[in-house]
Structure 1
Amino acid sequence: MKQKVIAIVGPTAVGKTRLSIEVAKKFGGEIISGDSMQVYKGMDIGTAKIKEEEMEGIPHHMLDIKSPDEEFSVADFQYYVQKYIKEISARNHIPIIVGGSGLYIQAVLQDYNFSKEKRDDAVTKRLEDEMKQNGIDSLFNRLKIIDPNQAEKIHPNNFRRVLRALEIFEKTGLTMTEYQKQQSNISPYESMLVGLEMERVILYSRINQRVDDMVKEGLLEEVKVLIEKGYQNYQSMKAIGYKELIPYFSGEVSLDESLEILKRNSRRYAKRQYTWFKNKMDVNWYELTPSTMNEKIKDILANLAGFIES
C-alpha cells in the first residue's frame, strides 16, 4: 500500500499553520514545512516561520536546515521531504506537508525526476558568462520567447531557475514546460490535499495586517542582521519579505514605501498561489471566514478521518 500523506496548501495568511496543528494532534502527525524559504536559518519573521510555543509539541521538519548563503533547489526540497516522509511513516505517524510553494509540493507528490537531465557544465558556463556580460534580463527575455509559461512562474532575478530552463531547452530541444509534462503523474503516495481559501478582500486585509505584525515582531532588525552578515545578494534574500526592505536600508526609498511594496507583493503572491494550486493540483478546497473557521476545521478533520481510515 502507498504511504498516506496529507498536504495543507493555500495562499499566505489564510490559516494553514493553525489547521496543521489541529490535524497533527488529531491524527498523530508530524509536520513538514512546504515553504521553500523556511529552510533558512535566521529568516524567521519574514517567512512567517512557526514559533516553538505554537508547535504544541508537534515535531516540525524542514526548518532551519540551510544558511542563507547556501543554494536550495526544488530538487533538494524533494530529496529532503521524501526522506522525512519515509522516516515519519516508519514511526507510524502521518506526514503532513504544510505550505504555499506549489511547485515544490507538486515535485514531492508527483515524484518529479530531476536527475534525468544532468547538468552540462559547458552550457551552464556559457550561459553564466552571457549573464555576466549582458545581465540576467537578456536571458530572461529569451526564456519569455522560448517558454512563456515557465517565464510566468520564475522571478526575473532567480537566475538559477532561468539558467536551468534555458539549459534544458538547449540540451533536449524541449521547453521546461514540455519537459515537466513528460513527468509521470503517478504518485508514489496516497495523498489528500486540503486547500484553504478566503474571500479576497478579507485575505488581503489579513496579509496587510500580517506585514504590520511582522514589523512589530522585529522584521526590520531581522533583515538588518542578514544584510550585516553579507547575505543581501544571495538567492535567499530575493524572497518576499526581505527584498523589499533592502532598498530601505540602502537609503533608496522610505520605510513606508518599502512596506507598501511588501504588502503589494504579498497580495500578488497570494493570487499566484491560488492560480497554481487550482490549475496544477487536485485540491479539496474549503472557504474560510474568521467567524466560520472553527466549524470548517471540524469539517476538515472529519473528512481527513475518512481518508486516513480508508
Structure 2
Amino acid sequence: MRHPVIAVVGPTAAGKSDLAVDLALRLGGECLNADSMQLYRGMDIGTAKLTEAERRGVPHHLLDVWDVTVTASVAEYQKLVRPLIEAVDVPVLVGGSGLYVRAAIDDLEFPGTDPEIRARLEAELAERGAGPLYARLRELDPAAAEAILPSNGRRIVRALEVIEHSGRPFSATMPSYEAVYPSVQLGLEVPRPVLDERIGTRVERMWAAGLVAEVRELLGRGLAEGRTAGRALGYAQVIRYLRGEWSEEEAFAETVRATRRFARRQESWFRRDPRVHWLPYDDPDLLGRSLALIAGRESG
C-alpha cells in the first residue's frame, strides 16, 4: 500500500459520498464502503447508495454483499475490507458507520460468541425489554454501559454475552485509537439546523424515488425477518406502514425524526476521535483542503 487510507466520515446527508468520489478521481483511488446498510443487496434508495452514474467511473467495493436476511457483522466486514485496503493503491473509505470505519483501520478484535448465552439473553430482551439488561450491564461493566445507549438492546445483549462467555469486561474489547493502517480521516461538518433540513430533503427524495416500492419488493426477499436490515432507517418505518400500523405520513415523519437522531449519534461518535480533521461541508475549496491534508500526511 503506497498511500494512507483516506477515510471520509461524518453524519448522514453531509455529502461524504460525493467528496469520496472527487478524491478518488483526483488521486486514482477506489472507494471502499463503510456504511453497514449499503452492504445489503437491493437496499438502494433508503441507503442513498450512489448510482452507477454518480460513481463517475470510480470502482466501488463492498456494496451489495449481503442478502437482507443476513445479520450484519462488523467482524465479517473487517475480514472483507482489510484485503481490499492491502490491494488498492489509494483506498478511500467512506461511510457513517463508525464501528465499521474503526474495524477497517484500527486494532479492533472481536471476542467469540456463545449461541446459547445469546439466545437466553435475547429471549430475556424480548420478554422484559432493554431496561433490566442495561441495569445489569451497568453493574457488571460501567464503562461499557456508559458507551452504549440504554435503548440499544442488541448491543446490550452482545456486551452481556461477552462478559459471561469470556469472564472479561466488554469494555476491554471496545475500540481504541491504535491504528493498523496509517490514515487521513476527513470529517464533514454541517451545522445542525442545516443538517436537519438536508435530512428532511433527502427523505422526501427517497419517498419520491420509490422507497415504499423498494421495501415492498424486499419484503418478498425476507426483509422483515432480517435482524439488521429490517430495522434500518426508513425500511423499519415503511414496514410498519405496509403492515397497517402507521399511516404513510406517520412513517415519513418518523423516518425524518429517527434519521436526525441517528445523525447526532454519528457526529458524537466521530467527534470523540481526535484524528478526524473536520471541514465545513460547504467550503468552496473542500476538495483542495482535503487534498492538502492528505499530502501533509504523506509527506509527514
Q: TM-score, normalised by structure 2?
A: 0.90
- 1:280 deviates by 3.3
Say yes or no: does 1:239 pair with 2:232.
Answer: yes
CA separation of 1:308 and 1:174: change in aligned 2, threshold 3 A: same
- 1:175 deviates by 3.2
Give the corresponding residue for 1:40.
Answer: 40
Say yes or no: does 1:101 pair with 2:93.
Answer: no
Post-superposition Cα deviations, 1:93-148, rounded to whole Å, max 9, x if no partner, equal 2001001001111122112111xx33234433443454566566654554455442
- Contact conserved, 2:5 with 2:90, CA < 8 A, in 1? yes
Seq. identity, %:
38
- Contact conserved, 1:149 with 1:177, CA < 8 A, in 2? no
Equivalent position amino acid for 2:234 in 1: G
- Contact conserved, 1:168 with 1:175, CA < 8 A, in 2? yes
CA separation of 1:222 and 1:84: change in aligned 2, threshold 3 A: same
Give the corresponding residue for 1:26.
Answer: 26
- Contact conserved, 1:31 with 1:60, CA < 8 A, in 2? yes
Give the corresponding residue for 1:86.
Answer: 86
Post-superposition Cα deviations, 1:222-265, rounded to whole Å, max 9, x if no partner, equal 01111233321312111112111111111111111111110011
Say yes or no: does 1:208 pair with 2:194.
Answer: no
Q: What residue ranges of structure 2 are gaps of 5+ in the alignment?
A: none
- Contact conserved, 2:39 with 2:64, CA < 8 A, in 1? yes
SS in 2 for 1:26: helix
Equivalent position amino acid for 1:86 in 2: E
Say yes or no: does 1:54 pair with 2:51.
Answer: no
Q: What residue ranges of structure 1 are gaps of 5+ in the alignment?
A: none
Post-superposition Cα deviations, 1:183-241, rounded to whole Å, max 9, x if no partner, equal 6x432211010000111111110110000001111111001111233321312111112
- Contact conserved, 1:31 with 1:95, CA < 8 A, in 2? yes
- 1:298 deviates by 2.0
Match of 1:258 among 240, 251, 258: 251
SS in 2 for 1:244: helix
CA distance in structure 2 between the aligned counterparts of 1:111 and 1:154, rounded to whole angstroms: 27
Q: How many matched pairs?
A: 296
Q: TM-score, normalised by structure 1?
A: 0.87
Give the corresponding residue for 2:152.
Answer: 155
Equivalent position amino acid for 2:297 in 1: F
For residues 267-282 of structure 1, the aligned pairs below 5 Å read 267-282=260-275
CA separation of 1:281 and 1:38: change in aligned 2, threshold 3 A: farther
For the aligned residue pairs, the C-alpha RMSD in angstroms reads 2.3
CA distance in structure 1 between the aligned counterparts of 2:126 and 2:188, rounded to whole angstroms: 42
CA separation of 1:249 and 1:15: change in aligned 2, threshold 3 A: same
